[in-house]
């Protein structure tokens, strides 16, 4: 099928950027997603958020930059909610959004300020060794609807080469790949983080990664509280409530809109 004049909106949450596709009839192939996310021959993004009307709500169909399907995206769900409000599809306040990690409630303030999103209940995964070059660290496995390995103290994180995918042992623990977070403690309940996202590479931020990082740090300390996670693209605040629910608060900004013919973009890629 040839798509013509496919509308899109470009947005980001702490510089983790997305192409948002309003509701439309048609398939969304991995090839099309990869073409849209191509920073040289396409629009450029870390992923695509497709808005799908579903049973009186909206389903967030999230795809990684390589076109693969992802279970959840924390920065993406805030951008998704911001788009719903700005386009008149939803009112400010609490918005239930369907995701592959269940129905999550996102709170969008009327004043355009930071957005708070339910991120679900974390679950422990297998631990594994993380290797970059000649360095290795123990990784703590957590799921936020998608898999993460958290290195609790990899300081100084600025010296880690994330131009290549970190090695993980045993590989069998994560047959579909895993997101890897590298933390550097800053102070009480405060860390810096860099992340390598599966299917994407290093990104400026990862919402589920920030949640996994904060949960791993809190679990290691035996506390449930709020944590500040600084990423290259900004700051996120993560709360782990006593009932097990994780909340994340951070910015979501829409920066551009237009239309595109994905077939033309696909044909322009080498």
What CATH number does the domain containing 239 carry?
3.10.310.10
Between 171 and 80, the higher pLDDT residue: 80
Are 213 and 146 in the same domain? yes
- Does any domain span residue 90? yes
Are 58 and 85 in the same domain? yes
Are 114 and 163 in the same domain? no
Q: How far apart are CA 118 and CA 115, in angstroms?
A: 10
Instruction: State yes or no: pLDDT of 4 exceeds 80.
Output: no
- Does any domain span residue 1? no
Q: What is the pLDDT of residues 105-157, one digit of tens each?
A: 999 999 999 999 999 999 999 999 999 999 999 999 999 999 999 999 999 99
This prediction has a pTM of 0.93
Six-digit token string for 264 = 């033309």
Are 172 and 188 in the same domain? yes
Domain residue limits at 20: 6-119+252-268
Domain total in the chain: 2
Q: Would you please indicate which residues are annotated as catalytic (active-site) residues?
A: 73, 206
Average pLDDT over residues 41-54: 96
Are 48 and 141 in the same domain? no
Residue 125: other Cβ atoms inside 10 A: 18
- Does any domain span residue 85? yes
Instruction: State yes or no: pLDDT of 2 exceeds 60.
Output: no
Is residue 142 within 8 Å of 150, Cβ to Cβ?
yes
Are 256 and 166 in the same domain? no
Is residue 75 within 8 Å of 81, Cβ to Cβ?
no
- Does any domain span residue 74? yes
**What is residue 42's DSSP assignment?**
S
Are 129 and 30 in the same domain? no
List, in order, residues 6 or more apart from 116 with CB less than 8 Å away. Answer: 106, 107, 247, 248, 249
Instruction: State yes or no: pLDDT of 229 exceeds 70.
Output: yes
Q: How far apart are CA 262 and CA 270, in angstroms?
A: 15
């Amino acid at each position: 099928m040839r798509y013509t004049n496919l509308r899109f909106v470009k947005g980001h949450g702490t510089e983790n950027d997305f192409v948002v596709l309003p509701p439309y009839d048609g398939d969304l192939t991995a090839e099309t997603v990869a073409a849209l996310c191509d920073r040289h021959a396409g629009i450029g993004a870390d992923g695509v958020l497709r808005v799908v009307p579903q049973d009186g709500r909206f389903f967030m169909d999230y795809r990684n930059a390589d076109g693969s399907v992802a279970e959840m995206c924390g920065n993406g769900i805030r951008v998704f909610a911001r788009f719903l409000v700005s386009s008149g599809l939803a009112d400010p306040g609490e918005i239930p959004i369907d995701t592959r990690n269940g129905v999550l409630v996102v709170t969008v303030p009327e004043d355009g300020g930071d957005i708070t999103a339910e991120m679900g209940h974390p679950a422990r995964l297998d631990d594994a060794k993380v290797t970059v070059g000649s360095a290795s660290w123990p990784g703590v496995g957590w799921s936020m609807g998608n898999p993460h390995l958290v290195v609790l103290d990899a300081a100084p994180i600025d010296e880690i080469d994330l131009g290549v995918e970190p090695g993980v042992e045993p590989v069998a623990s994560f047959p579909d790949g895993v997101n890897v977070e590298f933390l550097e403690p800053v102070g009480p309940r405060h860390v810096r983080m860099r992340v390598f996202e599966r299917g994407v590479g290093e990104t400026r931020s990862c919402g589920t990664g920030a949640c996994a990082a904060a949960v791993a740090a809190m679990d290691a300390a035996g506390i449930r509280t709020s944590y500040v996670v600084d990423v290259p693209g900004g700051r996120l605040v993560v709360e782990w409530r006593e009932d097990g629910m994780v909340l994340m608060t951070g910015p979501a900004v829409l920066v551009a809109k237009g239309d595109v013919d994905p077939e033309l973009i696909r044909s322009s890629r080498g």
